Structure 1
Amino acid sequence: MVRFEGVVKRFGDHTVLDGLDLRVGRGERVTLIGPSGSGKTTILRLLMTLERVTEGTIHVDGKPFSHMPAARDGSLVPADEKHLAGTRRRIGMVFQQFNLFPHMNVLENVMEAPVHVLGLSRDEAAERARELLDLVGLHDRLDAHPTRLSGGQQQRVAIARALAMRPDILLLDEVTSALDPELVAGVLDVLRDIARTTDITMLCVTHEMGFARDVSDRIFMFDHGRVLESGPPEQLFEAPEKERTRTFLGAVR
């Protein structure tokens, strides 16, 4: 579903991703772990087109994403905004910050993008929103505005909003890092339910190692913009090959 081939991302003289080759299968749950600054979030930002690759290519569902065929000869050239927008609709992202519309209630926040981006009728969007808000345990807060919700509730609204776009790929960027500790478990339980009951491809950046172990098919350990090692959770957590991985896991567990 997602393929990075030789992807380099630089900010000035600083290389954040260094020749990244990464593949994620359809319906696979992949978690990216590693120290801050190792390039994990940059991968998600490239898929959300918040950043552009410096070198290399990204493919989504077997088709060029970061690039597109040139009209002249079919060779790949950097994608224009129209090309990116077409594929980006298939990708949802939940950020560290909730970014809800403060003037809209919970139901309206979840309905907004499906109506204006997907072209759903308001009735259809409302039905879909109610189903998703029930999924995340907020069926009784439809009329509440974000300021009347806890941080954990706001993040659950943000998850429902991402799912309302019917994405094939869901990106999760440290979605519990802005929450008080007592609110983390509820949000992670919602994400576990989504992983268990849907076939959405998931890429997750987290420091919650228990969650990573529970939901992941594979875990990638990053350091200095490269994949240090990868494998299923039981392998990477119980018998990591690299000393750097062992040190990192010892610090975050």
Structure 2
Amino acid sequence: MIRFDDVVKKFDDNIVLRDLSFSVRPGEFVSLIGPSGSGKTTILRLLMTLERINGGTIQVGDEYLSHMDRGGKLVPADERHLRQVRKRIGMVFQQFNLFPNMKVLQNITEAPMRVLGKSRDEAERRGKELLDMVGLSDKVDEHPSRLSGGQQQRVAIARALAMEPEILLLDEVTSALDPELVAGVLAVLREIASTTDITFLCVTHEMQFARDVSDRVMMFDAGQIVEDAAPDKLFTDPDEERTKAFLHAVIDREAS
């Protein structure tokens, strides 16, 4: 469902991703861990076409994302092609990015009506189903400012699901939350992952969550994959010294 082949991303002279290649199967939940600045969030931004690659190719399903076929040759994708492929992808950001002037249900229904062409009745019916799924069926008519951070993030998750994505990208979705609110958001994501066939790519610092929900975990450092393994293997018996050092540092920080 996701394929990176020799992807390079640079910001001026700083190479953030260096000949990066990996793939994610349909329905798989893959978590990306590693130190800040290792390139994890850049991967998500490339998939959302918020950044352009400097080399290599990215595929989403059977389509190229960053390129398109023209006369049998791959050429850089135009905006129309990017929009078409991007419809297959949803993202939940660190910050909730809800529209403050819209009520909760409006936040969820606006894009399906405008982008997917849903009728208001259809969009609202699905929006209420999703709010029920994330435990907020009683917040339909509230404004985001009247919700806790955890509730706002659950609305953001419902909003992403309303676009019917094949792929859902999660970027440190609990990092802006108070510790007591984290568990509710992670519980919602566990439920979605276990009951849908959505493909997940998740950047997270929540090691226990990554271990519980992931099919695979990829350890990143300096724009490259250091280790790629099943969570039980990576968290209990990693092969690489860099992975061991990172996990020890995280565990020590959590313990303190």
Task: Give the Cα separation in 2 of the matches to 1:87 and 1:215.
Answer: 27
Aligned counterpart, 1:28:
28
DSSP-derived class of the 1:189 partner:
helix
TM superposition shift of 1:230: 0.5
2:195 to 194, 197, 211: 197
Identity score, percent:
69
- Structural mapping, 1:74-89, within 5 Å: 74-89=72-87
Kept after mapping to 1: 8 A contact 2:63/2:85? no
Aligned counterpart, 1:175:
173
TM superposition shift of 1:249: 0.7
Aligned counterpart, 1:94:
92
Amino acid at match of 1:64: Y
Aligned counterpart, 1:47:
47
Task: Give the Cα separation in 2 of the matches to 1:239 and 1:182.
Answer: 30
- 5+ long unaligned stretches in structure 1: none
TM superposition shift of 1:62: 2.2
TM superposition shift of 1:63: 1.8
TM superposition shift of 1:64: 1.1
DSSP-derived class of the 2:139 partner:
coil
- Is 2:17 aligned against 1:2? no
TM-score of the superposed pair, with normalisation by structure 1? 0.98
Deviates more, 1:88-97 or 1:60-69: 60-69
Aligned counterpart, 2:129:
131
1:144 to 125, 142, 145: 142
RMSD of aligned alpha carbons: 0.6
DSSP-derived class of the 2:18 partner:
strand
Aligned counterpart, 1:163:
161
Task: Give the Cα separation in 1 of the matches to 2:83 and 2:240.
Answer: 39
TM superposition shift of 1:163: 0.2
Aligned counterpart, 1:225:
223
Corresponding pairs, count: 251
- 5+ long unaligned stretches in structure 2: 252-256
DSSP-derived class of the 1:7 partner:
strand
Aligned counterpart, 2:57:
57
DSSP-derived class of the 2:174 partner:
coil
Aligned counterpart, 2:116:
118
DSSP-derived class of the 1:155 partner:
helix
Q: Which runs of 4+ in 1 moved over 3 A?
A: none
Task: Give the Cα separation in 1 of the matches to 2:116 and 2:63.
Answer: 21
Aligned counterpart, 2:254:
none
DSSP-derived class of the 2:68 partner:
strand
